[in-house]
Chains A and B, each alone.
Chain A
Amino acid sequence: MSRQNTIDKALDCYDDEKNGYYKRLADLVAVPSESQNPDRVPSLYQYLEEQMVPAFTKLGFETKIYDNPFDSCGPVLLATRIEDESLPTIFAYGHGDVVLGMEGQWEEDRDPWALTFDGDKIYGRGTADNKGQHLAHMVAIESVLETRGKLGINVKFVIETGEENGSRGLREIIHDNRDDFASDAMLASDGPRANIAEPNISLGNRGCMNFGLEANFREGGHHSGNWGGLLRSPAHRLNHAISSIISPKGEILVEGWRPQGIPDSVREAALAGERAAGETGPKIDKDWGEPGLTGSQKVSMWNSFEVLAMQIGNPDRPVNAVPPWARAACQLRHVIETKQEDILPSLRRHLDEHGFTDIEITEPPEANRGYFVPGRTNPDHPWAIWLKTAVEKTSGQNCGIVPCSGGSNITGIIAEELGIPFAWLPMSYLACSQHAPNEHILKSLMREGMGIIAGVYWELGSEEGYRP
């Protein structure tokens, strides 16, 4: 009965491709739980009711499903295992929904809803984001239970099904059922490691604010010969408006969108972190973005603006007309120093001051609302220190600290609603194409993560477990 036994059990399950981890993952991936597609709400229920509930029940958890207060949004599962009221309670988390399958766009016409093994890569929608990661936590819990007979702590495992659609409703569900969800610290895995070569914990996340920009001047197009030069062009106006927001080198030019007052501890932790995508990752553009910051700092302590999508005219069949409108789907990823409620007012002020009163800020499309509030636990918080130590003990490797991960997740909601510290232990890697076709995990890397998380759950229930 030891940590090593637990890790061995977890790895046995992982390596048993026929009946173990990958068998279970294949079942999870087969559920087309697209939360950005309103037609898939039944799949979101199916994921919880047919996959999660039986699995957690087997692990001795009580389960409860909360319907989402918003239309066309998926439910939230709370699986609870209370061993002793006096023990600390860990809030574990995963999300069962995925982004759109993008069928037909995958290389070699891979099926997003099935696992495809190709060397060290295992393809499938949700393998990295997030099915493969919360499944690893469940296997870890199972291994501890098999080894020790009990966890030694209480666990509240939350599986939501709307993360890729901005976690709509999660805040309301937790808010209205605060006692059900009350816990002492959050531990979850999502997203990629900052550096493929070593484990890290992420102590925060950027928020995400999606919005539209639109120049909508008239109904219908007008012949570009007869009217070209006379009619205010929505294309030129919107192009200029966006060019006033972001420079050709990626610097953000909106006052109020440039974060002020980042703590030194965060700045230093970010500086220590190194981002490495692995061999297959995209090439990082060193000259892009805010000058004077390292790559890690750009992601951990700075905001980034993106034009996610944009359309002018009819791109499939261009005609010689001054287009009637131009529309862009935009996004600001932002750290806690930029208050979410200030983002759009700052932008409006910026546009007005630059003469772009004819550019409207619009609601993002229903399918990609993307609201996430940012959150951050300080690197010197006892939970962060405990977890870093546990990971190092288990892995024998240094555990890096990412003070704030680039991606957006639900930690802001957890921090605000439950007031608990949180930490993420990501298992994927940066080049996993998690929001694009060809999403995959690396078999070897996920195996490492499996071992680490099994060891961490063992440690949580040991005499040296986290005791706030």
Chain B
Amino acid sequence: MSEEASRSGALSRGHDYFDKGGFEKELADRVAIRSESQRPEGLPELHRYIGEAMIPAFDEMGFTHKVFENPFEGCGPFLLAERHEEDALPTVLGYGHGDVIQGLDDMWTKGKGPWVTDRQGDKIYGRGTADNKGQHTVNMAAMRAVLQERGRLGFNAKVLIEMGEENGSKGLREVVTENKSEFAADVFIGSDGPRVRADWPTLTLGNRGTEPFDLLVDLRDGGHHSGNWGGLLASPGAILLNALATIVDDNGAIQVEGWLPPPVSNSVRMALKDIEIDGGPDAPEIDPGWGQPGLTPAEKVYAWNSFEVLALKIGNPDNPVNAIPGKAWAHCQLRYVVGTDRDNLISNLEKHLKKHGFENVQILPPPPQNTGGFVASQTDMDHPWAKWVRSSIEETMGEPPAIIPSMGGSIGNDIFTDLLGLPAIWLPHSYAACSQHAPDEHILFSGFRNAMEVMTGIYWDLGEGATPTGDAA
């Protein structure tokens, strides 16, 4: 069998996995585990995902495993699965996260709710299909296809599965710091997030960071009759909304000094020039005039910062009464790229609010349900490993992948780049309109089938010996 082993043989195993229902079956079992990391009740499910969905699958592929408990109370564990074939071979660190955001069960309008996958045409609905269960399921299956075809991987594999990514990856940094040698590798290749276009394999080399925070205007306890007091008592709502309106202009461009990166570089502009933001047929309409003036849509999301009010509450929205509310609250988020003065984001906002006379607007830590902060990080586009992965994809697809210097979403990428010192290459499989943080999360079957080809090709090529490390590049 090994004499017949070939790249195309591995690829065709991948096709079978998709075309004979293997993928959908494995994904359904994994989606059925309600591994919500933003709810304390989800903790047992986080453990169950590792114990029931991951470990047996890795065992079958001849991996050993180790589970690291989370140093933070109430947060999910980490799995490190490893298959070591030979010291001289390159070691690849893979990644996935088994936790998902809240199911938002009542809000789904498509499929069978968050916990039961449902195929409708090219779409498979379910919480975690895109973010991230479907993605690491494909990567594991691609390694399995290579193993079956070749009888061995031909490289050393480590795969990290974390269970708290949607809750800010709490504890990951600590666990990796404490166990650096166990996570040591030559290159990081992981999958999360969307491609630039559903059918265009994409190589992502960095990520935006997030800075979550709350704004609160707390003027007095309780409400006061809006007729008797209207005009006499300062309105927390009017103050908070005016304050927010100084942070971005009415077109979404950030106005806070110290909140923007240096101008977009020429090499980044070049890499992004052919990239159109296309989230597929159900993608929301992009308003080309929105946001930072002078940037293309790709530059806005892959090379610039954005500010959003994720949630806001004044008074009682379900039952408004004729009273001046005592408080107004907003939960906000800044997404920022490498190059932004990340250590001074909050103090720069403080200065900004003070400058505009909003002394009574307090900046507070975000609520416990959504504390996730990430720092921005990036691997250079010309790194040998980046080029190597690019050519592997090109061989599979017959055309080059899209290259994103920094993805819009946030991941704990700096743990791999800064802490472990690895070139970090992300190969996202989803697409932008997948509703991954909302009800109706889904993937495209066709897109993931293609991802299976891409990943199988990469893992095949990794065992062929011509890698940067193998060449002692």
Contact = CB atoms under 8 A, between A and B. Distances in A.
Interface string A308-321: 11111111011111
Contact of A223 (B102, B237, B437): B437
Contacts of B180: none
Contacts of B312: 235, 310-313, 315, 326
B233 interface: yes
Interface stretch (A1-9, A66-74, A245-253, A336-344): A245-253
7 contacts: A206-B227, A224-B310, A248-B242, A309-B321, A310-B313, A320-B372, A437-B222
B231 A289 contact: yes
A39 B55 CA distance: 55
Contacts of B370: 317-320
Contact of A355 (B208, B210, B250, B410): B250
A227 B408 CA distance: 7
Nearest to A218: B284
A229 B287 CA distance: 10
Contacts of A230: 277, 286-287, 290-291, 297, 300-301
A36 B233 CA distance: 25
Interface stretch (B169-177, B323-331, B343-351): B323-331
A110 to B, nearest CB: 13
A448 to B, nearest CB: 19
Contact of B432 (A226, A248, A302, A356): A226
A188 interface: no
A403 interface: no
Interface of B: 38, 101-102, 104, 193-194, 208, 210, 220, 222-235, 237-239, 241-245, 248-250, 252, 277, 279, 284-287, 290-292, 297, 300-301, 304-317, 319-325, 328-331, 333, 335, 356-358, 366-367, 369-370, 372, 407-410, 432-433, 435-440
B335 A319 contact: no
A315 B309 contact: no
Nearest to B335: A228
Contacts of A205: 227
Given A309-B325, A318-B366, 14 more contacts: A226-B407, A229-B252, A229-B291, A236-B250, A243-B242, A247-B238, A288-B234, A308-B323, A313-B309, A331-B230, A355-B250, A407-B227, A435-B323, A436-B222
Contact of A36 (B314, B321, B331, B438): B321
A208 B250 contact: no
B429 to A, nearest CB: 14
B310 A323 contact: yes
A321 B252 contact: no
B241 A242 contact: yes
A315 B333 CA distance: 14
Contacts of A285: 232-234
Contacts of B437: 221-224, 319-321
A333 B408 contact: no
**Most chain A CB atoms below 10 A, which of B244, B304, B356:** B244
A227 B290 CA distance: 11
B227 A298 contact: no
Nearest to A307: B237
A434 interface: yes
Given A229-B301, A230-B286, A436-B224, A315 B232 contact: no
**Most chain B CB atoms below 10 A, which of A223, A308, A311, A368:** A223
Interface in A203-250: 205-206, 208, 210, 218, 220-233, 235-240, 242-243, 246-248, 250
B309 A239 contact: yes
A229 to B, nearest CB: 3
A228 B284 CA distance: 12
A367 interface: yes
B239 A248 contact: yes
A191 B322 CA distance: 14
Contacts of A76: none
A310 B292 CA distance: 27
A226 B101 CA distance: 16
A288 B324 CA distance: 13
A248 B310 contact: no
Contacts of B277: 230
B289 to A, nearest CB: 9
Nearest to B436: A223
Interface in A100-125: 100
Given A228-B335, A310-B312, A433-B222, A248 B238 contact: yes
Interface of A: 36, 99-100, 191-192, 205-206, 208, 210, 218, 220-233, 235-240, 242-243, 246-248, 250, 275, 282-285, 288-290, 295, 298-299, 302-315, 317-323, 326-329, 331, 333, 355-356, 364-365, 367-368, 370, 405-408, 430, 433-438
**Most chain A CB atoms below 10 A, which of B223, B231, B311, B321:** B231
B331 A318 contact: yes
Contacts of B226: 304, 306, 308, 331, 333, 435
Contacts of A315: 311-313, 329, 331
Contacts of B309: 233, 235-236, 239, 312-313, 323, 326
Given A223-B409, A250-B235, A313-B331, A228 B317 contact: no
Contact of A434 (B225, B324, B367): B225
Contacts of B235: 246, 250, 288, 306-307
Nearest to A315: B313
A288 B322 CA distance: 19
A327 to B, nearest CB: 7
Contact of A208 (B227, B249, B311): B227
B333 A317 contact: no
A320 B210 contact: yes
Contacts of A320: 101, 210, 310, 333, 370, 372, 437
A315 B284 CA distance: 23
A317 B252 contact: no
Contact of A310 (B102, B231, B285, B315): B315
A232 B243 contact: no
Contacts of A246: 235, 238, 242
A10 B284 CA distance: 69
A304 B277 CA distance: 44
A430 B229 contact: yes
Contacts of B331: 313, 315, 318
Contacts of B320: 210, 308-309, 329, 364-365, 367-368
Contacts of B210: 225, 320
A458 B433 CA distance: 75
A319 to B, nearest CB: 5
A180 to B, nearest CB: 29
B319 A282 contact: no
Contacts of A36: 319, 321
Nearest to A240: B250
A290 B232 CA distance: 9
Given A290-B231, A318-B370, A239 B291 contact: no
A403 to B, nearest CB: 15
